[in-house]
Amino acid sequence: MAVYRVPPVPPSEITPRAAWLNRRALIAGALASLPVLSAARPAGAAQDPLPLKPGPFGTSEPPTPIKDVTSYNNFYEFGAGKADPSRNSGAFRPEPWTLEVDGLVAKPRTFDLDDLRGFPLEERVYRMRCVEAWSMVIPWVGFPLAALLDQVEPLGSAKYVAFETVVRPEEMPGQKGLFQPLPWPYVEGLRLDEARHPLAILAVGLYGRTLPNQNGAPVRLVVPWKYGFKGIKSIVRISLVEDEPVTSWKRMAAHEYGFYANVNPAVDHPRWSQASEIRIGEGGFFSPSRRDTLPFNGYAGEVAGLYAGMDLAADY
Ligand SMILES: Nc1nc2c(c(=O)[nH]1)N[C@H]1C(S)=C(S)[C@@H](COP(=O)(O)O)O[C@H]1N2
Ligand SMILES: [Mo]
């Protein structure tokens, strides 16, 4: 079985995407013919690409440079600053890993990394919008959450899906010390029909490689029509439940962060506008690239039907 563990990519390795895709094919070929050499590399240095094929919902917008995707992050378990997750996640060990799927299901199951990477992986290039009014375009590697839910067979009584991040204060400096920005574990949730929508994926990689620690290794949620905080990282448990689950940011400040968290330029955050966003990695520090925020982050055609009849200003 291939070893997928890959360290974050240093800036020196950053290559334009087309060149990188070509080179990746070359490297994959070269590695395949050098099993002894690759087996002799130190632990953590293997760079086997993840298998993937292009998935649906593509965008023509250029992907955000990988150095920004991997160095400008929110992952409070490693600190509250944007650079903290890339700086402070080096001791985190995402392998081995288990993901428990339980609750109102006919077939509760524990998935390991081989199971998760055994789903048919696709590249999904998604626009991502943080509630803090910045955005990125990220080429995720993952599979529909619906495919995992199908395997555990949710019962008729299951109405919501609850997600939980790992708690490891020894490896996650943001989980110990005096300043604890959130109660742990970080928890999130979706309505079952949202979770089953084909846009919602579990990501196990980005830019064709396994996830860097700061992006939620080894498995995280990606729901591109919602604000980024719904995309819970380093997931250890997924539970099918009857009632709307508690979510970390709603528990912190319910007047600012709702359960739905659908991207909505018409509903401002109490402390700032959501009408537009800065695209990270474009335009430079002094002239950032700003664009209008679109309803459902541009995915209204796909997902607006999920919310027919709801007042999205009340259910924010
Ligand atoms: N466990 C956990 N998941 C999390 C967060 C977090 O602090 N802890 N931050 C969220 C927020 S606010 C955003 S914008 C996205 C950022 O994902 P990225 O760093 O991969 O772009 O992760 C989300 N998932
Ligand atoms: Mo966010």
The rounded average pLDDT for each run of 10 residues, N- to C-terminus, in the chain (316 residues) is 36 38 38 33 47 92 97 97 97 97 98 97 98 98 98 98 98 92 97 98 97 97 98 99 98 97 97 98 90 98 98 95
226 Cβ below 6 A of ligand 1: no
231 Cβ below 6 A of ligand 1: yes
What pLDDT shows up at residue 239?
A: 99
Nearest CA to ligand 1 atom 15: 228
Token pair for 66: 């990988």
185 Cβ below 6 A of ligand 1: no
Could you tell me the pTM of the whole model? 0.87
Ligand having the closest approach to the CA of 186: 1
184 Cβ below 6 A of ligand 1: no
Mutate to test the pocket of ligand 1, among 67, 70, 71, 74 (most ligand atoms within 8 A of CB): 74
249 Cβ below 6 A of ligand 1: no
74 Cβ below 6 A of ligand 1: yes
* Ligand 2 centre distance from Cα of residue 192 (Å): 22
Helix (H) / strand (E) containing 190: strand 187-191
| DSSP-derived secondary structure letter, 228 | G
Residue 140 CA to residue 219 CA, distance in Å, equals: 11
What pLDDT shows up at residue 209?
A: 95
CATH no., domain 3-307: 3.90.420.10
What pLDDT shows up at residue 48?
A: 64
Do the beta carbons of residue 54 and residue 122 sit within 8 Å?
Answer: yes
Q: Which residues pair with 160 in a beta bridge?
A: 191, 241
Do the beta carbons of residue 159 and residue 190 sit within 8 Å?
Answer: no
215 Cβ below 6 A of ligand 1: yes
End-to-end CA distance of the chain: give it in Å, rounded. Answer: 44
Closest CA to 130 of 221, 203, 224, 201: 224
Ligand having the closest approach to the CA of 131: 2
Residue 79 CA to residue 81 CA, distance in Å, equals: 6
Number of the ligand 1 atom closest to the C-alpha atom of 182: 7
* Ligand 1 centre distance from Cα of residue 221 (Å): 10
What pLDDT shows up at residue 52?
A: 86
134 Cβ below 6 A of ligand 1: no
What pLDDT shows up at residue 7?
A: 36
CA distances from residue 277 to 61, 215, 253, 280 in whole angstroms, order as listed? 15, 21, 22, 9
Token pair for 240: 């099918």
What angle (nearest 5°) sits at the alpha carbon of residue 211, between those of residues 90 and 25?
A: 120
